[in-house]
Each structure stands twice: as structure tokens, then as C-alpha cells.
Structure 1
Amino acid sequence: MSIPQPELLHFDSDDTTGYPNSPLPVLVYRQVLDTSDADELADAFESMFKRHGWPPAWRYHLYDFDHFHSTAHEALGIFRGQARARLGGPNGRETVLSAGDVLVLPAGVGHASIESDDDFCMVGAYPPGQDPEIERGDPTQLEAAQARVASVTLPENTPVGGPLKSLWG
């Protein structure tokens, strides 16, 4: 199976909202897996993430408030429905996520659901030893959040396969 090439989205730190974002790009893989059975798709995402060193942690929707994780990178595999998501914090930009897509968020990048199907659901995964804290932007804490983001180690592989260094190196 060939490894798909992701869209690369860049988000600068936002001093006005306190979202650190990241110098590393967000990776958006479109239609990584194609199946009409959502339960099979969720299982397939979990297997793929685990195989590439990103243990699956949950199945849930995307929060409807802007937040970020300064202590962990995050992989999201959409297995049911569609959502319009905002990336980069309150002043970020929108993208549509659909079943079969994978979103890889570097530590610090803001994300939120703006609108979604009632049945929208994802598999979430993190590299081993990385535990996400749910944080919301605070301009007075931006420098500390940026320091935490900078200290998060890079995993060897992307959650869909292939070396991450070529994309985040």
C-alpha cells in the first residue's frame, strides 16, 4: 500500500489569543481508508495508528470550543460523518473533515468543531508517553505554552505510515 501525501497547513503563534500553534505543519490526509462500515473504519484506524506507533486512546467527536494540547501531538481518524473544523485557534482557518480522513496535529495547534453531522465521530491517538492536557488560549501564558510545545518529542513515524522526519524534520 502506498503512503498518501498529506496537505500541509501552517499556523503561526497567535499573541492576541494565546494559542502557541507550531512551526510544524498540520498534516491532513484525505481518504486514507475507504469503507462504508463506520465500525470497520474505526477498527481499521485503530489498527493502523497502533501499527505505526500511535496507540489509539478514544472514540469521540471534536469539541466545539477552541483548544490545544501543549504536551502531545494528536492523530484524529474520522470514521463517521463530516465536520467543519477550525484549525489554528479562534483566528485560524476552516477545513472540512470527512470519514476516511486523518488529521495530525502538532502539539500546540488549536482546533475546534464549528459544525458537524450528528453522527460525526473520530478515533484519537497519541505517541507513547504523551498525555494531552486540554488547554485554551491565554495570552499571559503563551510563552510557557510555547516552551512546553517545543519540548514535545517527535515520533518516528506518521500515524498512517512513513517517516515523520521528512514532513516535520
Structure 2
Amino acid sequence: MNNLKAVPYQFSDDGIIPNHPDLPVLVYPEAFKNNPHETEAIFNSHGWLNSWTNGVFDYHHYHSNCHEVLGVIRGTALVQLGGEQEEQVQLNTGDVVLLPAGTGHKRLSASPDFQIVGAYPGGMEYNTRRGTQEDRQKALAEIPKVPIPDTDPVYGKVGPVHRLWGRGTHRG
């Protein structure tokens, strides 16, 4: 694993995708570059559970009741984070992206072999919301209630989630 590094991306509410009002997306470049096959086990060992292996939907969606971590275990993908006008990020094998509750994400393109592992702090059950007004109204009430996780999904008791998502940074 690299040296406790993550690149933060902060997104604003665009009127469709709420994003998180306080917490940035964290991209951990090459976090598991040398051991992508261990991604799920490492997430699970740090208390990020309810894990699955698949891809990323090709439409904007978000989870308003929990945070989500995604680790690329094979292939590459171009994803858009934060909504239609926001950041396009290239993800490669070994990269990890941590999405705070409410953060829109969508697959724009991917290699044929692309696979990710997803997981949630404490194994929380996640919802899937899209860009509808009904979903948005529910999400705006749910997002501020999502607690900051006790552990960083990549590094455990230390790491960027503690430094960049510290307890003093969220409302609620």
C-alpha cells in the first residue's frame, strides 16, 4: 500500500445530485496496486462489510444512507463523480475511491475486464437513489444523519478518512 495518501474532491449540490455538503470524495491512487486480489479482505478487516464484486452503473446514482468504498480489482474505468457537470476520474487496477453519502457516481466507459469490490462501514445496508425530485427530498434528510466511519477502509485506524473526514467536519 502507498503512504497514507488520498486525493480529495469536493462537490456541491447541483440541484439534482445532492453530493455531501461537507465530506470530500477520497481517491486513493494505487492503494492496492501490488495486491488487488486482497482488496475485499482488507476492506472487511477494517470493518467495511456487506461487500460485493461487480461494476459501476452507467447512470448517475448515489447512496444517501451510507458511505461507500469501491476498489478496482481488475481493469480500468472512467467514472464521473458528483453529477453531470463534475469530475471525470480514471480508475485503474489497485485504485480505491471512497464516496461520502449522497455522492453521485456513474461509469462512462470501462475495459472489458473491469471489476470492483464495494463495501460499507459496519456492513450498513445501502439504498440506491437516482436524480429524481422524490429521491432528492429523501436524500437531503438522510445524508446529514450518516455517521463518519470509525475506520479508514484502506488503512484501518489511521489514514485519510481520519485526517480529511474528522468528526469536526460534518453537520449533525
For normalisation by structure 1, the TM-score amounts to 0.89
> What's the % identity of the aligned pairs?
37
Contact 1:83 1:115 in 2 (8 A): yes
Contact 1:71 1:148 in 2 (8 A): yes
Structure 1 155/119 Cα, relative in aligned 2: closer, same or farther at 3 Å?
A: same
| Aligned partner (choices 82, 88, 92) of residue 86 of structure 2 | 92
Structure 2: gaps (5+ residues): 167-172
Question: What is aligned with 2:5?
Answer: 5
Question: What is aligned with 1:165?
Answer: 162
| Aligned partner (choices 12, 20, 25) of residue 18 of structure 2 | 20
String of CA shifts for 1:27-63, please: whole Å, max 9, x gaps.
000011223xxxx623x10121112111251000111
Structure 1 64/110 Cα, relative in aligned 2: closer, same or farther at 3 Å?
A: same
Give the secondary structure class of the aligned counterpart of 2:23. strand
Instruction: Kindly indicate whether residue 74 of structure 2 is the aligned counterpart of residue 106 of structure 1.
Output: no
Shift of 1:157: 1.4
Moved over 3 A (4+): none
Shift of 1:89: 1.7
Shift of 1:91: 2.4
What do you get for the CA RMSD once the two structures are aligned? 1.7
Shift of 1:143: 3.8
- 1:27-106 mapped onto 2 (5 Å cutoff): 27-35=26-34, 41-42=36-37, 44-55=38-49, 57-106=51-100
Counting matched residue pairs gives 162
| Counterpart-to-counterpart distance in 2, 1:165 and 1:28 | 14
| Counterpart-to-counterpart distance in 2, 1:143 and 1:53 | 30
Shift of 1:129: 4.8
For normalisation by structure 2, the TM-score amounts to 0.87
| Counterpart-to-counterpart distance in 1, 2:101 and 2:117 | 17
Structure 1 115/146 Cα, relative in aligned 2: closer, same or farther at 3 Å?
A: same
Letter in 2 for 1:41: P
Contact 2:2 2:30 in 1 (8 A): no
Contact 1:49 1:56 in 2 (8 A): no
